[in-house]
């Protein structure tokens, strides 16, 4: 372990509506319309603030999810949902995922800045590029643009949004004439209390990491190994330095899929029971979706073919998220499992995002290890079932981190940007 650093771990929770596993809806703590119930959402905000969490994230979805591998096939608009939660909370950050591929920059800039006002400076935008052809068709497009074009558009989209937010501060029109957007406009919304809404970036491609280093305040990363996380952490921080920024200005928060129990055996039993309640094909379909290759066609008792592994890391391969694919590739290369062994492992180690099955104490150990090793500035936690998993984070995991001097005892700031800055401190040299 390295010497303790100043500052503290950042903790967010990815509110996957009901939980990240398809069987989450079967929890006795939920009812059939929980995701439509205003009380469900205000309770999420209240529990998050009880644990003094930095932020809660909510994804948008421009298409109906496949319930075979998506626990949350239907979703509400995150900016509307978080506006409701903002009225019932005072401190926790409210981050909405929104696509730069299928939105208009003026409309999105206004919606996010409006959320920032109703939350008194707690809004954030998690920038993503959409890759699904059915989503494109929902917007009248025959297919998604190529990956390179989507990231070029994303970089320009962010520039336009930032210029529009600046127009709210100065009262002067934003003038932009680029390859994708052409406008002379200014927002009529007043300027942000926190300067501007916070930017998170979720892409793991080289262009995505470069964009994060130049513009983002944080990265919602996909990491399966600590070694890979350290490498990607340093890469984004170097991009920040190259853009004339301090590396501390961009925070790295890997996603972490959680099944927690009072003992490791209880946590594994919980994970197994939830997986068994879901579709039998869940693991195969989720892996297929993540790597863009039909995993059901692979021989379960053979190792992954070399051509499949090469496709996973080939940036020209159109399927899946590059960040997820790279993490999965590194995990397979490290342990060299058969396909069946890998699918069994993903119950406990995650698929795309890293998984964790164990006790709150073991989770605190894991968070501390990655934090002190220079693999992360914190984590975006994703419980298997949100209805009880979030309470365990707030009431059991957070107190353990506080005892280790890794997390605050109370909020000292009341904006999302303030939370990020309060966590900054001296980074120990990674071992």
Known binding positions = 60, 97, 151, 205
211 alpha carbon, distance to own chain's centre:
16
Q: Residue 201: beta bridge partners? A: 127, 219
Kindly tell me the burial class for residue 218, based on how many C-beta atoms sit within 10 Å of its own C-beta (0-12, 13-18, 19 or more).
buried
Q: CA 11 to CA 401: how far, in whole Å?
A: 11
Q: Which residues contact 111 (CB under 8 A, 6 or more apart)?
A: 79
H helices of 292-424, in order, are 306-313, 322-335, 339-349, 360-372, 386-392, 398-403, 416-422
CB-based contact 349:245 (threshold 8 Å) = no
What is the spatial distance between Cα 237 and Cα 247, in angstroms, rounded to a whole number? 5
For residue 415, the 8-state DSSP code is S
Q: Which helix (H) or strand (E) holds 140?
A: none
Asked whether 163 and 184 are in contact (CB, 8 A), the reply is no
Using alpha carbons, list the distances in angstroms from residue 50 to 44, 246, 368, 405: 10, 31, 21, 18
Q: Strand pairing of 198-201 and 123-128?
A: parallel
CA 309 from centre of chain: 25
Answer for the pair 101, 145: CB distance below 8 angstroms, yes or no: yes
Three-state DSSP string of 356-389: EEECHHHHHHHHHHHHHCCCCCEEEEEECCHHHH
Q: Give the separation between CA 59 and CA 15, rounded to whole angstroms.
A: 8
Residue 109, H or E segment: helix 105-118
Of 343, 344, 334, 314, whose CA–CA distance to 229 is shortest? 334
Residue 260: how many other CB atoms lie within 10 Å: 24
**Do 187 and 113 touch, CB atoms closer than 8 A?**
yes
Nearest to 116 by CA among 200, 192, 12: 192
Query: Residues within the annotated binding site for FMN?
Result: 60, 97, 151, 205
């Amino acid at each position: 372990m390295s010497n303790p650093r100043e500052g503290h771990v950042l903790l967010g929770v990815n509110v996957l509506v009901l939980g990240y596993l398809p069987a989450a809806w079967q929890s006795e703590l939920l009812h059939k319309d929980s995701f439509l119930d205003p009380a469900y959402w205000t309770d999420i905000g209240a529990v998050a603030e009880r644990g003094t969490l930095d932020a809660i994230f909510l994804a948008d979805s421009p298409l109906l999810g496949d319930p075979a591998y998506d626990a949350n096939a239907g979703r509400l608009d995150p900016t509307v949902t978080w506006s409701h939660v903002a009225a019932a909370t005072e401190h926790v950050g409210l981050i909405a995922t929104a696509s730069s591929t299928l939105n208009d920059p003026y409309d999105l800039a206004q919606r996010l800045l409006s959320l920032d006002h109703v939350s008194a400076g707690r809004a954030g935008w998690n920038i993503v590029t959409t890759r699904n052809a059915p989503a494109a068709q929902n917007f009248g497009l025959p297919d998604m643009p190529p990956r390179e074009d989507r990231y070029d558009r994303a970089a320009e989209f962010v520039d336009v949004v930032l210029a529009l937010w600046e127009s709210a501060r100065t009262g002067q029109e934003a003038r932009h004439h680029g390859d994708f957007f052409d406008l002379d406009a200014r927002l009529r919304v007043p300027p942000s209390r926190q300067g501007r809404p916070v930017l998170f970036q979720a892409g793991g491609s080289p262009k995505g990491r470069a964009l994060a280093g130049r513009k983002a305040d944080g990265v919602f990363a996909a990491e399966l190994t600590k070694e890979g996380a350290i490498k990607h952490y340093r890469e984004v921080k170097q991009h920040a330095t190259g853009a004339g920024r301090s590396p501390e200005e961009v925070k790295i928060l890997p996603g972490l899929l959680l099944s927690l129990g009072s003992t490791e055996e209880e946590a594994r039993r919980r994970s197994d029971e939830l997986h068994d309640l879901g579709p039998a094909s869940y693991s195969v379909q989720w892996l297929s979706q993540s790597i863009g290759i039909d995993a059901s066609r692979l021989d379960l008792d053979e190792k992954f073919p070399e051509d499949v592994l090469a496709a996973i890391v080939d940036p020209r391969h159109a399927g899946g998220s590059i960040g997820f694919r790279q993490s999965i590739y590194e995990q397979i290369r490290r342990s060299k499992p058969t396909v069946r062994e890998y699918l069994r492992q993903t119950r406990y180690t995650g698929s795309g995002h890293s998984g964790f099955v164990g006790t709150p104490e073991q989770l605190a150990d894991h968070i501390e290890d990655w934090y002190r090793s220079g693999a992360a500035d914190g984590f975006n936690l994703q419980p298997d079932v949100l209805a009880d998993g979030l309470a365990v984070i707030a009431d059991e995991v957070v107190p353990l981190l506080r005892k280790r001097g890794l997390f605050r005892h109370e909020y000292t700031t009341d904006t999302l940007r303030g939370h990020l800055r309060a966590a900054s401190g001296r980074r120990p040299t990674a071992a």
